[in-house]
């Protein structure tokens, strides 16, 4: 029963995305050519990767507002590393980005776990600290395209089977996240913890530790995105991806992740991110002001949240009906 | 205190100020109150007596407008009234001092007393000055030396209680309900409370006094009313009864439940708990348990039974003492350790602590056993379903499909999911905390039968329960706890409803 509702929600989101594409293509047919769709996907890839990490955090009843700052700090560190050691193989750059991101995520996770500080406070704090750190290590200087080595900035743009590496990474992360959630004990634990922390304790799951793992994964993905972002735009400075964390949370909410934890799916998040990506890319094409884009994203969030609460309400009524029948 | 007992009460002929007549209350399928009556007389203390689950709290909630009766009448000074909200009840002069006082830590004393009905100034704003003065007067009146501007957070439990009493009296009360008012108080404070009760009586207020402690009831009450299983059993003057008559009325019930017959086949000792202590919850708990045995833990709510079990399961930390399984001493730091040693705990509150209702059945059942069903870190769904099917079939779970969400199941079936989850870990010792609380009779019988079957298969079972029939019907042995200590161990002929209640309530041994 609930499964069908969940499925319906994702179907609905898919229909919304398709309708949007249809609408845009009626005025600008070139928008739905494969080449352009790949471009849109590539452009949305950072959002997809971050939203999948964020999803795990939200599912465990936390929130990670520091992802964009983590991304910017990691991006700056790998960019500076690249100027210092231009010949460093890309594998190491990736490794460093992911590890540094994970460490920054672990700081969030440990504060939430060990000191039991609410995650919104922790990540609001670390968000500012991470941004401040970028300024400290870079002296507020930019690192521009000409300072980066060729293979560093070209890697995400490299094409494999007609699609840029950046988009392939998003696809890979999506598949991994899906398997991780569906088929590993830790993946299960996220949902158990978010759905009913008390019951999870009695089941032998360490709630704090599970939340910490979610933050580490979210941080690692933010670190990965940090390198990809800096390389793709070929620039690193204090304010890159400023405010992007809200777009990430928005993608999750539109994708049907319950902000109260315990519910959500990879497909939902993927569609939520793609929806935002299509809106962002389509509106300029049909000559609609970017301010409309904000309004549309905002409306989509409200509709999604209203839809979520409505579906859980109808579930409540169903139980009541059963109870009435049984009396 | 004897003068309280004989305190003159010529109000015999007065009609009750508040009367409940033929009240019934149904909660989704469960009848909590069945045709009960209750009369409260001005200037008299009426003690409401009954076991856990007799319906006392429900009556309090009906009197204070939190619940509405399904049928029956409430008469206030002879006139029929309806308490549709808590506010209605309060403005009718019915006020309650609750078991767990409902106060606001971050407001000051005067604000706590007058929240919701603060005195207003000419402009409709709260008149802080007047509020503080009135609060001071109220506190003085009940002999509490508390500043009206003190923050509630900074007060001790006893003083908080005085604030709660002042709050109850701040509305012009005709009826004062005291729901286990002495639970958190010291001996001296209890005596002060008695003086206060005398004062309220002399002001002509009707008092409903709920307590499990018989010495209190006999020293303070003028009348009594007994409930049992949501039904009215009797009422009368306290002078006309003695303790054992009252106990009989509380527990003497017809045998309306049939329990499985068991031939306990006790094996070797599997669990030893020795000198378990906890700084606040319990002290010096030692017991042993054998394979195939069902050991009952009886006591009043708050006696520390669940806390002992939670310590055994690694949720609470005992400050000293040891536990061993199969003679091997355990280091239990977390529930995961306990599960690994073969101890599982099925908690009391299914909704909050048991099932994860937004996950499907199979994910609930396999949750603590995922290591079993995984290979190289990946869950094998076929194994997971096989495990779930095996244990849910044994429990005769009624569900449309194993990937159905637990939220859609009935209470009894949710309980089965939780038990199946634990059985799947193949435990040696299973602790069932109030295993049949709030489930229908049919499911109860199924749980009992299953409990018997578990024991016959050599599992050691600990059952924490507040239901006397269940204690008598299922246990081989019962340990009674009171105020964090083991009071006695009962078995065979010494295991009767009367002995259970006597020991749990602390009524002097014969």
What is the distance in angstroms between the Cα of B228 and the nearest Cα belonging to chain A? 22
Structural element, H or E, at residue A3: helix A2-27
What is the structure's pLDDT at A194?
Answer: 92
Rg (CA), chain B: 25
pLDDT tops 60 at residue A324: no
Please list every residue in chain B whose beta carbon sits closer than 8 Å to the beta carbon of residue A60.
none
What is the structure's pLDDT at A312?
Answer: 53
What is the structure's pLDDT at A319?
Answer: 36
Instruction: Report the largest interatomic distance among the alpha carbons of chain B, rounded to a whole angstrom.
Output: 81
The answer to whether A204 contacts chain B (CB < 8 Å) is yes
Angle at B103 between CA B97 and CA B105, to 5 degrees: 155
The answer to whether B102 contacts chain A (CB < 8 Å) is no
The Cα–Cα gap between B361 and B346 comes to 16
Question: CA-nearest residue of chain B to A261?
Answer: B358
What is the structure's pLDDT at B109?
Answer: 92
Please list every residue in chain B whose beta carbon sits closer than 8 Å to the beta carbon of residue A323.
28-29
Secondary structure letter of residue B171 according to DSSP: S
B45: β partners: B207
The Cα–Cα gap between A189 and A184 comes to 9
Residues 225-264 of A with CB under 8 A from B: 262-263
> Residue B122: which pLDDT band, with cuts at 50, 70 and 90?
confident
Count of domains observed in chain B: 4
Secondary structure letter of residue A181 according to DSSP: H
The Cα–Cα gap between A188 and B385 comes to 15
What is the distance in angstroms between the Cα of B238 and the nearest Cα belonging to chain A? 38
Q: Looking at the structure, do residues B166 and B185 belong to the same domain, yes or no?
A: no
- The b/e string for B361-400 (b: 16+ C-beta within 10 A; e otherwise) is bbbbbbbbbbeebbeeeebeeebbbebbeebbeebebebe
Q: What is the CATH number of the domain that holds A195?
A: 1.10.3470
Other CB atoms within a 10 A radius of the CB of residue A158 amount to 12
> Residue B317: which pLDDT band, with cuts at 50, 70 and 90?
confident
Measured between its terminal Cα atoms, the distance across chain A in Å is 23
Nearest in space to A129 (alpha carbons), one of A114, A111, A141: A111
Q: How many CB pairs under 8 A join A and B?
A: 96
The answer to whether A26 contacts chain B (CB < 8 Å) is no
Residues 421-450 of B with CB under 8 A from A: 421
Nearest in space to B67 (alpha carbons), one of B23, B99, B17, B29: B23
The Cα–Cα gap between A11 and A19 comes to 12
Q: Looking at the structure, do residues B130 and B185 belong to the same domain, yes or no?
A: no
Q: Looking at the structure, do residues B335 and B400 belong to the same domain, yes or no?
A: no
Q: Do B410 and A192 touch (CB under 8 A)?
A: no
Pairing of strands B429-433, B460-464: parallel
- Tell which of B369, B391, B426 closes a domain: B426
Nearest in space to B160 (alpha carbons), one of B98, B115, B89, B218: B98
Q: Looking at the structure, do residues B390 and B463 belong to the same domain, yes or no?
A: no
Q: Looking at the structure, do residues B18 and B88 belong to the same domain, yes or no?
A: yes
Other CB atoms within a 10 A radius of the CB of residue B84 amount to 10
Residue A62, CA distances (Å) to A105, A173, B224, B284 in order: 13, 21, 52, 40
Quote the domain boundaries for residue B111: 105-171
Residue with tokens 């409990």: B451
- Are residues A241 and A229 in contact, defined by beta-carbon separation less than 8 angstroms? yes
The Cα–Cα gap between B72 and B34 comes to 10
pLDDT tops 70 at residue A5: no
> Residue B403: which pLDDT band, with cuts at 50, 70 and 90?
confident
- Are residues A65 and A123 in contact, defined by beta-carbon separation less than 8 angstroms? yes
What is the structure's pLDDT at A208?
Answer: 94
What is the structure's pLDDT at B438?
Answer: 63
pLDDT tops 80 at residue B166: yes
Secondary structure letter of residue B405 according to DSSP: B
Residue to test with chain A: of B367, B402, B411, most A Cβ within 10 A:
B367
Q: What is the CATH number of the domain that holds B337?
A: 3.40.50.300
The Cα–Cα gap between B56 and B48 comes to 7
Please list every residue in chain B whose beta carbon sits closer than 8 Å to the beta carbon of residue A318.
408
Q: For residue B504, with 0-12 CB atoms within 10 Å meaning exposed, 13-18 middle and 19 or more buried, which class applies?
A: buried
The answer to whether B378 contacts chain A (CB < 8 Å) is yes
Q: Looking at the structure, do residues B330 and B432 belong to the same domain, yes or no?
A: yes
What is the distance in angstroms between the Cα of B420 and the nearest Cα belonging to chain A? 12
Residue with tokens 């506190």: B139
Q: Looking at the structure, do residues B121 and B238 belong to the same domain, yes or no?
A: no
**pLDDT tens digits for A143-185?**
998 899 988 989 999 889 889 999 999 999 999 999 999 889 9
The answer to whether A184 contacts chain B (CB < 8 Å) is yes
Please list every residue in chain A whose beta carbon sits closer than 8 Å to the beta carbon of residue B357.
195-196
> Residue B9: which pLDDT band, with cuts at 50, 70 and 90?
very low
Question: CA-nearest residue of chain B to A198?
Answer: B353
Q: Which of B347, B358, B404 sits opposite A263 (nearest CB)?
A: B358
What is the distance in angstroms between the Cα of A208 and the nearest Cα belonging to chain B? 13
Looking at residues B27-38, what average pLDDT do you find?
80
The answer to whether A85 contacts chain B (CB < 8 Å) is no
> Residue A115: which pLDDT band, with cuts at 50, 70 and 90?
very high
In a domain, B54, yes or no: yes
What's the token pair of residue A42? 């590539």
The answer to whether B339 contacts chain A (CB < 8 Å) is yes
In a domain, B153, yes or no: yes
Q: Looking at the structure, do residues B122 and B164 belong to the same domain, yes or no?
A: yes
Q: For residue B306, with 0-12 CB atoms within 10 Å meaning exposed, 13-18 middle and 19 or more buried, which class applies?
A: buried
Residue B280, CA distances (Å) to A177, B316, B480, B481 in order: 45, 11, 18, 15
What's the token pair of residue B192? 């002060």
- Are residues A111 and A124 in contact, defined by beta-carbon separation less than 8 angstroms? no
Residue with more model confidence, B394 or B345? B345
In a domain, B48, yes or no: yes
Other CB atoms within a 10 A radius of the CB of residue B430 amount to 23
What is the structure's pLDDT at A133?
Answer: 96
What's the token pair of residue A210? 């599970």
Residue with tokens 């009215």: B232
Q: Looking at the structure, do residues B418 and B431 belong to the same domain, yes or no?
A: no
Count of domains observed in chain A: 1
pLDDT tops 80 at residue B458: yes
Residue with more model confidence, B104 or B409? B104
Residue to test with chain A: of B358, B419, B430, most A Cβ within 10 A:
B358
What is the structure's pLDDT at A129?
Answer: 96
Q: Looking at the structure, do residues B177 and B208 belong to the same domain, yes or no?
A: yes
The Cα–Cα gap between B172 and A104 comes to 59
> Residue B355: which pLDDT band, with cuts at 50, 70 and 90?
confident
Please list every residue in chain A whose beta carbon sits closer than 8 Å to the beta carbon of residue B368.
203-204
Residue B458's SS3 state is coil
Q: Looking at the structure, do residues B414 and B438 belong to the same domain, yes or no?
A: no
The Cα–Cα gap between A316 and B28 comes to 13
Instruction: Compute the mean pLDDT over every residue in chain B, rounded to the nearest whole number.
Output: 83
What's the token pair of residue B438? 């709030």
Q: Looking at the structure, do residues B133 and B177 belong to the same domain, yes or no?
A: no
CA of residue A215 relative to chain centroid, distance: 12
In a domain, B432, yes or no: yes
The answer to whether A312 contacts chain B (CB < 8 Å) is no
Q: For residue B242, with 0-12 CB atoms within 10 Å meaning exposed, 13-18 middle and 19 or more buried, which class applies?
A: exposed
Residue with more model confidence, B212 or A160? A160
pLDDT tops 80 at residue B137: yes
> Residue B10: which pLDDT band, with cuts at 50, 70 and 90?
very low
What's the token pair of residue B497? 């409803």
Structural element, H or E, at residue B361: helix B361-366
Residue with tokens 């029939």: B469
Instruction: Compute the mean pLDDT over every residue in chain A, rounded to the nearest whole number.
Output: 87
Please list every residue in chain A whose beta carbon sits closer than 8 Å to the beta carbon of residue B339.
204
HEC secondary structure over B198-232: HHHHHCCCEEEEECCCHHHHHHHCCEEEEEECCEE
Strand order through the sheet with B231-237: B79-81, B71-76, B18-27, B30-40, B231-237, B223-228, B45-49, B206-210, B175-179, B94-97
DSSP A232-268: HHT-B-TTTTTTHHHHHHHHHHHTT--TTSS---HHH
Structural element, H or E, at residue A194: helix A185-195
What is the structure's pLDDT at B183?
Answer: 67
The answer to whether B50 contacts chain A (CB < 8 Å) is no
> Residue A316: which pLDDT band, with cuts at 50, 70 and 90?
very low
The Cα–Cα gap between B217 and B211 comes to 7
B76: β partners: B18, B79
Q: Do A195 and B355 touch (CB under 8 A)?
A: no
Looking at residues A50-72, what average pLDDT do you find?
96
Quote the domain boundaries for residue A62: 2-26+35-326
Lowest mean pLDDT of A202-216, B91-105, B188-202, name the range. B91-105
Question: CA-nearest residue of chain A to B425?
Answer: A203
B374: β partners: B379
Please state the φ and ψ torsions of residue B499, each to the nearest 5 degrees: -65, -40
What is the structure's pLDDT at B353?
Answer: 66
Lowest mean pLDDT of A33-47, A246-260, B122-136, B344-358, name the range. B344-358
> Residue A112: which pLDDT band, with cuts at 50, 70 and 90?
very high
pLDDT tops 50 at residue B375: yes
Q: How many CA atoms lie within 13 A of A153 on its CB side?
A: 16
Q: Which of B26, B356, B379 sits opposite A196 (nearest CB)?
A: B356
**pLDDT tens digits for B13-22?**
578 899 999 9
The Cα–Cα gap between B417 and A207 comes to 21
pLDDT tops 80 at residue A310: no
Lowest mean pLDDT of A233-242, B226-235, B248-257, B494-503, name the range. B248-257
Q: Do B408 and A319 touch (CB under 8 A)?
A: yes
Four-residue CA torsion sign, A188, A189, A190, A196: positive
What is the structure's pLDDT at B3?
Answer: 39
Residue to test with chain B: of A203, A257, A315, most B Cβ within 10 A:
A203
In a domain, B472, yes or no: yes
Question: CA-nearest residue of chain A to B339?
Answer: A204
What's the token pair of residue A79? 């960019």
In a domain, B63, yes or no: yes
What is the structure's pLDDT at A318?
Answer: 36
- Are residues B388 and B402 in contact, defined by beta-carbon separation less than 8 angstroms? yes
Measured between its terminal Cα atoms, the distance across chain B in Å is 23
Question: CA-nearest residue of chain A to B407?
Answer: A319
What is the structure's pLDDT at A6?
Answer: 52
Looking at residues A107-128, what average pLDDT do you find?
95
Q: Do B367 and A205 touch (CB under 8 A)?
A: yes
Rg (CA), chain A: 20
Pairing of strands B477-482, B294-299: parallel
> Residue A7: which pLDDT band, with cuts at 50, 70 and 90?
low
The Cα–Cα gap between B148 and B135 comes to 6
Q: Do B368 and A204 touch (CB under 8 A)?
A: yes
Q: Do A188 and B315 touch (CB under 8 A)?
A: no
B489: β partners: B479
Please list every residue in chain A whose beta carbon sits closer than 8 Å to the beta carbon of residue B382.
none
What is the structure's pLDDT at B12?
Answer: 52
What is the distance in angstroms between the Cα of B342 and the nearest Cα belonging to chain A? 12
What is the structure's pLDDT at A2?
Answer: 52
- Are residues B353 and A198 in contact, defined by beta-carbon separation less than 8 angstroms? yes
Residue B175's SS3 state is strand
- Tell which of B383, B398, B426 closes a domain: B426
């Amino acid at each position: 029963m609930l499964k069908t509702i969940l499925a319906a929600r994702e179907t609905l989101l898919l229909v919304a995305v398709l309708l949007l594409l249809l609408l845009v293509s009626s005025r600008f047919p070139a928008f739905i050519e494969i080449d352009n769709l790949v471009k849109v996907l590539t452009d949305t890839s950072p959002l997809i990767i971050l939203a999948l990490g964020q999803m795990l955090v939200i599912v465990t009843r936390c929130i990670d507002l520091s992802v964009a700052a983590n991304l910017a700090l990691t991006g700056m560190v790998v960019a500076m590393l690249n100027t210092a050691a231009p010949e460093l193989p890309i594998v190491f750059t990736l490794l460093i980005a992911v590890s540094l991101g994970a460490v920054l995520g672990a700081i969030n996770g440990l504060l939430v776990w060990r000191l039991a500080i609410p995650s919104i406070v922790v990540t609001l704090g670390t968000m500012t600290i991470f941004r401040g750190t970028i300024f400290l290590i870079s002296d507020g200087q930019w690192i521009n395209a000409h300072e980066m080595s060729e293979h560093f900035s070209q890697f995400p743009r490299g094409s494999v089977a007609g699609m840029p590496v950046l988009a392939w990474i998003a696809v890979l992360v999506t598949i991994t996240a899906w398997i991780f959630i569906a088929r590993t004990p830790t993946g299960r634990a996220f949902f158990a913890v978010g759905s009913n922390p008390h019951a999870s304790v009695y089941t032998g799951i360490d709630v704090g530790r599970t939340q910490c793992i979610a933050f580490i994964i979210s941080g690692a993905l933010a670190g990965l995105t940090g390198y990809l972002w800096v390389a793709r735009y070929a620039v690193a400075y204090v304010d890159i991806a400023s405010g992007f964390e809200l777009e990430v949370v928005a993608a999750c909410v539109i994708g049907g992740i319950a902000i109260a934890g315990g519910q959500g799916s990879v497909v939902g998040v993927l569609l939520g991110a793609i929806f935002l990506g299509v809106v962002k890319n389509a509106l300029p094409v049909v000559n609609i002001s970017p301010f409309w884009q904000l309004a549309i994203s905002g409306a989509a969030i409200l509709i999604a949240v209203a839809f979520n609460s409505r579906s859980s309400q109808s579930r409540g009524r169903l139980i009541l009906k059963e109870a009435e029948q049984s009396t | 205190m004897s003068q309280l007992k004989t305190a003159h009460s010529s109000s015999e002929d007065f009609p009750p100020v508040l009367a409940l007549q033929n009240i019934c209350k149904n909660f989704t399928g469960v009848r909590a109150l069945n045709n009960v009556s209750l009369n409260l007389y001005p200037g008299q203390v009426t003690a409401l007596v009954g076991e856990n689950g007799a319906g006392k709290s429900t009556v309090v909630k009906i009197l204070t407008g939190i619940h509405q009766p399904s049928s029956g009448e409430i008469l206030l000074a002879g006139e029929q009234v309806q308490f549709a909200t808590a506010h209605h009840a309060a403005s009718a002069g019915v006020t309650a001092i609750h078991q767990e006082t409902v106060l606001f830590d971050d407001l000051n004393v005067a604000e706590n007393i007058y929240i919701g009905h603060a005195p207003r100034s000419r402009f409709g704003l709260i008149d802080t000055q007047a509020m503080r003065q009135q609060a001071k007067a109220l506190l003085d009146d009940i002999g509490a030396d508390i500043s009206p501007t003190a923050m509630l957070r900074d007060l001790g439990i006893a003083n908080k209680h005085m604030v709660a009493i002042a709050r109850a009296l701040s509305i012009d009360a005709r009826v004062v309900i005291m729901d286990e008012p002495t639970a958190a108080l010291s001996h001296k404070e209890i005596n002060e409370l008695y003086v206060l009760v005398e004062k309220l009586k002399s002001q002509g207020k009707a008092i409903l006094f709920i307590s499990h402690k018989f010495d209190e009831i006999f020293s303070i009450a003028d009348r009594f009313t007994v409930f049992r299983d949501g039904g009215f059993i009797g009422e009368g003057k306290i002078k006309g009864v003695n303790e054992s008559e009252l106990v009989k009325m509380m527990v003497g019930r017809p045998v309306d439940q049939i329990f499985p017959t068991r031939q306990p086949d006790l094996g070797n000792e599997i669990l030893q708990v020795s000198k378990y202590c906890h700084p606040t919850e319990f002290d010096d708990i030692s017991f042993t348990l054998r394979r195939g045995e069902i050991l009952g833990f009886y006591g009043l709510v708050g006696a520390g039974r669940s806390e002992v079990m939670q310590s055994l399961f690694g949720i609470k930390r005992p400050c000293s003492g040891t536990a061993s399984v199969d003679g091997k001493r355990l280091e239990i730091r977390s529930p995961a350790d306990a599960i690994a040693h073969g101890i599982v705990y099925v908690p009391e509150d299914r909704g909050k602590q048991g099932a994860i209702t937004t996950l499907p059945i199979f994910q609930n059942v396999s949750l603590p056993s995922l290591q079993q069903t995984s290979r190289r870190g990946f869950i094998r769904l076929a194994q997971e379903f096989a495990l779930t099917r095996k244990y849910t079939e044994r429990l005769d779970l009624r569900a449309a499909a194993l990937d159905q969400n637990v939220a859609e199941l009935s209470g009894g079936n949710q309980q089965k999911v939780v038990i199946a989850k634990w059985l799947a870990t193949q435990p040696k010792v299973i602790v069932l905390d109030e295993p049949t609380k709030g489930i229908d009779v049919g499911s109860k019988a199924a749980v009992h039968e299953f409990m018997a079957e578990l024991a016959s298969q050599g599992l050691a079972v600990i059952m924490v329960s507040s239901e006397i029939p269940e204690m008598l019907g299922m246990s081989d042995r019962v340990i009674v706890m009171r105020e964090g200590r083991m009071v006695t161990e009962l078995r065979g002929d010494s295991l009767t409803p009367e002995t259970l209640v006597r020991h749990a309530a602390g009524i002097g041994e014969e």
